[in-house]
């Protein structure tokens, strides 16, 4: 069964460093998303991406964040200068279509630890 | 904010019993999805119910949706220890806005063997 994959599963970085989190969405999906979940808290929407551009972003997704679909398969989230509060699980998700019945599938997540 | 909220926050039952979790949201939706998350792991999609549907079944799962009350329930019948996890509902932005999905805080289900 097709699935969303994410790498790495765990990333440790020092404050101020740049990180790139990678995702491979399901191959025939057109809509892509990033979410984060701080330990013990709810899943929060970061950004959605369709047709090679950002569709919507949350207030969390400030200038330190960027997304890219560099080729036909990968979808990346870059954090330019990490802060301690960026420590969280980051989930990528994809959706096949804009139809009402289009289900959103999540990857296993990348645990980002900023020290 | 559209964010859904689940209740109860935590539920502890014996294996074989049924578990019911509820989700409430604030504005109109196109659909509502339920997910399961095992501790520290990813979100597993369980079921999607469209705003024009009232009930949906998938195996031991039964989901209902009441758009007039802006609420949904997830029933797991004949629970198993392996059902122990957190369960979340997610709603979209309504009016054919699928650019953003909102999650509640989840219900932590513990099924005792």
Q: Do B42 and A31 touch (CB under 8 A)?
A: no
Q: What is the pLDDT of residue B110?
A: 97
Q: What is the pLDDT of residue A96?
A: 85
Task: Report, as an integer, the average pLDDT of A5-26.
Answer: 96
If DSSP codes are grouped into helix, strand and coil, which group holds residue B81?
helix
Instruction: Select the more confidently predicted residue: B95 or A8.
Output: A8
Spatial neighbors of A1 by CB under 8 A, at least 6 apart, are: none
Find out whether B2 and B99 touch, Cβ atoms under 8 Å: no
Q: Do A107 and B88 touch (CB under 8 A)?
A: no
Q: How far apart are CA B31 and CA B95, in angstroms?
A: 10
Q: How far apart are CA A3 and CA B42, in angstroms?
A: 12
How far B77 CA lies from chain A's nearest CA (Å)? 23
Q: Do A106 and B96 touch (CB under 8 A)?
A: no
Contacts of A33 in chain B (CB under 8 A): 101
Task: Report, as an integer, the average pLDDT of A14-38.
Answer: 95
Task: Report, as an integer, the average pLDDT of A26-44.
Answer: 91
Spatial neighbors of A71 by CB under 8 A, at least 6 apart, are: none
How many C-beta atoms surround the C-beta of residue B107 within 10 A?
Answer: 23
Find out whether A79 and A92 touch, Cβ atoms under 8 Å: no
Q: What is the pLDDT of residue A98?
A: 64
Q: What is the pLDDT of residue A65?
A: 97
Tell me, yes or no, if A84 comes closer than 8 A to chain B by beta carbon. no
Q: How far apart are CA B29 and CA A13, in angstroms?
A: 38
Q: Each residue of A4-22: b (16+ CB within 10 Å) or e?
A: bebeeeebebeeeeebebb
pLDDT at A75 over 60: yes
Mean pLDDT in order along chain B per 10 residues (113 residues): 76 97 90 90 91 95 96 97 95 76 91 95
Q: What is the pLDDT of residue B96?
A: 67
B98: nearest CB among A58, A98, A108: A98
pLDDT at A107 over 70: yes
Q: What is the pLDDT of residue A114?
A: 97
Instruction: Dihedral sign for Cα A22, A26, A30, A33, please.
Output: negative
pLDDT more than 90, % of chain A:
76
Find out whether A91 and A42 touch, Cβ atoms under 8 Å: no
Q: What is the pLDDT of residue A108?
A: 93
Tell me, yes or no, if A103 comes closer than 8 A to chain B by beta carbon. yes
């Amino acid at each position: 069964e097709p699935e969303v994959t994410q790498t790495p599963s765990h990333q440790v970085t020092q404050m101020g460093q740049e990180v790139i989190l990678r995702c491979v969405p399901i191959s025939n999906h057109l809509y892509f998303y990033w979410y984060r979940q701080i330990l013990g808290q709810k899943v929060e929407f970061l950004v959605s991406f369709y047709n090679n551009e950002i569709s919507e972003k949350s207030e969390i997704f400030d200038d330190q964040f960027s997304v890219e679909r560099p080729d036909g398969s990968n979808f990346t989230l870059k954090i330019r200068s990490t802060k301690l509060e960026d420590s969280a699980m980051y989930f990528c998700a994809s959706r096949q279509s804009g139809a009402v019945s289009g289900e959103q599938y999540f990857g296993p997540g990348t645990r980002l630890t900023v020290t | 904010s559209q964010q859904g909220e689940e209740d109860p926050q935590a539920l502890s039952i014996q294996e074989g019993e049924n578990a019911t979790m509820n989700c409430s949201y604030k504005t109109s939706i196109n659909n509502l999805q339920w997910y399961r998350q095992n501790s520290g792991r990813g979100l597993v999609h369980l079921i999607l119910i469209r705003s024009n549907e009232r009930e949906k079944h998938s195996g031991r799962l039964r989901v209902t949706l009441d758009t007039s009350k802006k609420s949904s329930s997830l029933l797991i019948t004949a629970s198993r220890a392996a059902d122990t996890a957190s369960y979340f509902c997610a709603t979209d932005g309504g009016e054919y806005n699928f650019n953003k999905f909102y999650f509640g805080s989840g219900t932590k289900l513990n099924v005792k063997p």
